[in-house]
Amino acid sequence: MRKNVVRFLLILALIFAVFRLRSQSQKNDGVFEADAAVSTIAIEDKNIQVQVIGTDRKKDSLTVYYQENQQNDYDISLKREHLVIQKRNRPFNFLFSWLNFDFTDRTLVIEIPQQQLDSLDLETTNGKVLIENLEVEKAKINTTNGEIKINNSNFSDYLESETTNGKVLLEDNEIADGTIETTNGKVIFANLAITNSLSVETTNATVSGDIVGHQKDFEITSKTTNAKSNLPKNSSNSAKKILEIETTNGSIMVDFTKD
């Protein structure tokens, strides 16, 4: 009797798995084009890469490229220059969510004129995030088990980025005030310009890179354990800018471009 029950459950699981693989392979490519200017974006996604790219093309509208299948779809709405993008599970998908065999490489891509955006609020799980060529006032970027990469962008008010088990990589950016947090992931920056302050915190990983300016421009606080640091633990100068870096079991190696 017990063998029959086990055999039945295995067959049922196999049927569900085949159904899920088939339904996920039947994906649809979608495109959303905004019919008005967009100043703020809120993105809520999961298990997918998300890219937000600033463009210098003459076209003045935002475009979203996405993929849907029988398990998930997107709700995209634009109201009063505020764009909301949310991934939704289709009805009854939760019953089979434990049979997740989705090996396809899916990416949500948002292209927007470089200087149009005021605010970006992005949250995803189990996926990388790429921000590139943007000029934005405020940005909050949050993911888990994924890398955050930010290139050639300007954040005139603040940048908050947080991930777990993933690197944070910044190259050729300008930040007024910034907060970077990760666990078990390196923080690496290149040619980073800071107007006011930057706080970096990670665990079990290194923090390295180069910052535009002189070291004397910053009031510095740094802390690490079981590793080396080339920054002072505390600098008591009256500099206008603030730099705080903390890690555990990882080195801190930060250079300044004008020293």
Distance CA 66, CA 50 (A): 10
CB 112 within 8 A of CB 54: yes
CB 157 within 8 A of CB 119: no
Beta bridge partners of 110: 52, 64
* All residues at 6 or more sequence positions from 52 whose CB lies less than 8 Å from its CB, including other chains: 41, 43, 110, 112, 120, 122, 130, 131, 132, 134
CA dihedral 164, 169, 170, 175 (to 10 degrees): 10
| pLDDT at res. 135 | 95
Three-state SS at 31: strand
| pLDDT at res. 24 | 47
Distance CA 167, CA 185 (A): 4
Residue type, 143: T
Beta bridge partners of 105: none
| pLDDT at res. 16 | 56
| pLDDT at res. 90 | 66
Whole-prediction pTM: 0.84
Each residue's pLDDT tens digit in the chain (259 positions)? 566 655 666 666 665 555 555 444 456 789 999 988 899 999 999 888 999 999 986 667 899 999 887 778 899 999 999 999 998 876 655 444 444 444 456 799 999 999 899 999 999 988 899 999 999 999 999 999 999 999 999 999 999 999 999 999 999 999 999 999 999 999 999 999 999 999 999 999 999 999 999 999 999 999 998 899 999 998 877 889 999 999 999 999 999 999 9
- How many other C-beta atoms are found inside a 10 Å radius of the C-beta of residue 244? 16
* All residues at 6 or more sequence positions from 246 whose CB lies less than 8 Å from its CB, including other chains: 200, 201, 202, 221, 222, 223, 224
CB 122 within 8 A of CB 102: no
| pLDDT at res. 12 | 61
| pLDDT at res. 68 | 85
Distance CA 66, CA 28 (A): 8
| pLDDT at res. 59 | 63
